[in-house]
Amino acid sequence: MPHEGRDSSARRNCVAVVGATGAVGRELLGILAARGVPREQVRAIASANSVGTSIKYGDGSVRVLGLDAASFAGCRLAVFAADAQTSRRSAPIAVAAGAVVIDNSSAFRLDPGVPLIVPEVNADALETGTKPPRGIVANPNCTTIILVTALEPLRRAFGIGAIDIATYQAVSGAGAAAIDELLDTTRRALGIESHRSDAHVSIFPEPCAFNVFSHDSAVNPATGVNGEEQKVIAETRKIWNTPTLRITPICVRVPVLRAHTEAITVTLSEPATEHDVRAALAAGKGLQLVDDRAANRFPTPRNADGRDDILVGRLRPDPGEMPDTQGRHRRWCLLACGDQLRKGAALNAVQIAEGLGVLPRLGVLPETQILHSPAPV
């Protein structure tokens, strides 16, 4: 069906969101609205079964449009929150129409001709006002974004020689249907009737309520490394330009709605005191240090939910390593928690667009106005 008002002045220089009805797409729309982008300049694009419906945008709504050859006419920016196949097929069309594409899928992340960007870490790989070489910028995997943002202050101050990481990943990483499934399986486990008629359909290989299991991505039969773990390794190395950095991950799915937790042991290139490590993290961009040993208060996914910043804490030297004569350690342990849908996906894409200058900084609502809590069980 034709897209209404495509040639009107209000639609010029629009922002297209592909996959607008999914979990990341809805988060993108919320962030754009909070930053003051007028709804007349937003083009919400989704699959055929959503075309013609309305989706919330700020205090109002926008109409959902289909993805076709004219989807990106007049758009200065296209943010893809769809699957890799859709991105491979349609991102070049958006670029040909004049848009800068920021892609949240895995389609272009390891392409040597496409920048892979976390603004707090490697924004210098992009030049403001200059179109990326192929018109596309890749958004990293959510787990990678949280990891490199949390460790970037330590990398800059002391260098990083190795990383051991265990992740405890929210179901939102598997999409909106996975969030529904966690709520449904929790209701069933508690003896509460499910609200879905198709509640028997499983996104995950086993129930996620009151359960923990190895990440549901495919496992390489030769190496035993699953897809999520391989992404963390390859993407971190690309972002930091450290092709031989040792990264040893184990990725686990946990019954949390939308914020990932990462237990990290990092080996620094240069030893450091706790005072210096703590000071580096406290000054880190996009981070909030939450570390109160007396009150046993450290980062949690519940407190990270809806926040822009990544929470870091539970900082301590590796108890298995003896300090040097100056009381310094190379190996440090910490927790990091970040909202998978927000900084792990949608917010990072918006920050990239702002850094490129294709999305003006039109003002941001105070964080207290944009936080939201998990849906009740």
- Which residues, at least 6 apart from 113, have a Cβ–Cβ distance to it below 8 Å? 133, 134
Strands (E), the chain: 14-18, 42-46, 54-57, 60-66, 75-80, 100-103, 136-138, 160-169, 213-214, 246-253, 259-272, 287-289, 310-317, 329-339
- Count Cβ atoms within 10 A of the Cβ of residue 186 and give its class: 0-12 exposed, 13-18 middle, 19 or more buried: middle
Spatial contact of 343 and 309, defined as CB atoms under 8 Å apart:
yes
Structure tokens at 188: 């069933």
**Which structural domains are found in the chain, ordered by start?**
9-138+345-370 (3.40.50.720), 143-170+212-340 (3.30.360.10)
Closest Cα to residue 353, out of 99, 46, 112, 10? 99
DSSP state of 346: I
- Predicted TM-score of the model (pTM): 0.91
Q: Which residues pair with 168 in a beta bridge?
A: 252, 261
In order along its 377 residues, the chain shows pLDDT tens digits of: 334 444 444 445 799 999 999 999 999 999 999 999 999 999 999 999 899 999 999 999 999 999 998 999 999 999 999 999 999 999 999 999 999 999 999 999 999 999 999 999 999 999 888 889 999 999 999 999 999 999 999 999 999 999 999 999 999 999 999 999 999 999 988 988 655 555 555 899 999 999 999 999 999 999 999 999 999 999 999 999 999 999 999 999 999 999 999 999 999 999 999 999 999 999 999 999 999 999 999 999 999 999 999 999 999 999 999 999 999 999 999 999 999 999 999 999 999 999 999 987 644 433 333 333 333 32
Q: Indicate which residues carry an active-site annotation.
A: 142, 260
Closest Cα to residue 375, out of 135, 173, 102, 186? 186
